[in-house]
Structure 1
Amino acid sequence: MMAKKLCDKVTVAAQIAVSDVVAIKDAGYTTLVCNRPDGEDLGQPNWDEIRGAAEEQGMATSFLPMSNREDALSVVAEFARVVENSEGPVFAYCRSGTRCEILWNMAQAHS
């Protein structure tokens, strides 16, 4: 799993597997955010599977899917709120990590 640390509070990555959740938690992340819509690709784990695994590990979760500019504009405030209110580092993922990084940059521009 390749991840990109954007700051001390936010790391982004490409699609994760259910089996990655324990390693994410063990790395110190307290919140898991998905910015990818379910069903975007065949074989992609759905959010309910990932969320269930994260909640079993005691992690907070947030599903903020986006696939276009309008989606990004509608979820950016919630993304910023989730990051701000997280008790520790946030791990966000989408297909490649790019959408998560875009949301992070938008949130920073509006703060």
Structure 2
Amino acid sequence: VINNRPDFEGGPEQPTSAQMKAAAEALGLAYAYLPVQGGFQSTEEIAAFRELLDALPGPVLAFCRSGARCTKLFVQAQSL
């Protein structure tokens, strides 16, 4: 699981990365936190996403608020 959503995006009632990590690990899932802002993903963020795709056991689920950031990161990471 790759979480691309910054903590508290969408309000304080949203679970934090630490809470999601605990839940994922309780289910035996690997978890990574790579928060990115909407609208622009840096070359460093794209490279970090690629590294996570290569390192984490598959299949990998990446998520953000709408799916747009994850899709952009995935598409751009494929060219690395």
Letter in 1 for 2:63: Y
1:27-46 map, 5 Å: 32-42=1-11, 43-46=13-16
Look up the match of 1:61.
Answer: 31
Instruction: After the TM superposition, list the runs of 4 or more consecutive aligned residues in structure 1 that deviate by more than 4 angstroms.
Output: none
**Identity, % of aligned pairs?**
37
Q: Which structure 2 segments of 5+ residues have no match?
A: none
Structure 1 CA distance, aligned partners of 2:68 and 2:29? 23
Instruction: Report the alpha carbon displacement of residue 65 of structure 1 after superposing the two structures with TM.
Output: 0.5
TM-score of the two chains, using structure 2 as the length reference: 0.86
Look up the match of 1:29.
Answer: none
Total equivalences in the alignment: 78
Q: What's the Cα RMSD here?
A: 1.4
Structure number having the greater strand percentage:
1
Q: Which structure 1 segments of 5+ residues have no match?
A: 1-31
1:11-63 Cα offsets, whole Å, 9 max, x none, are xxxxxxxxxxxxxxxxxxxxx10001001111221111111000111211110
Instruction: Report the alpha carbon displacement of residue 88 of structure 1 after superposing the two structures with TM.
Output: 1.6
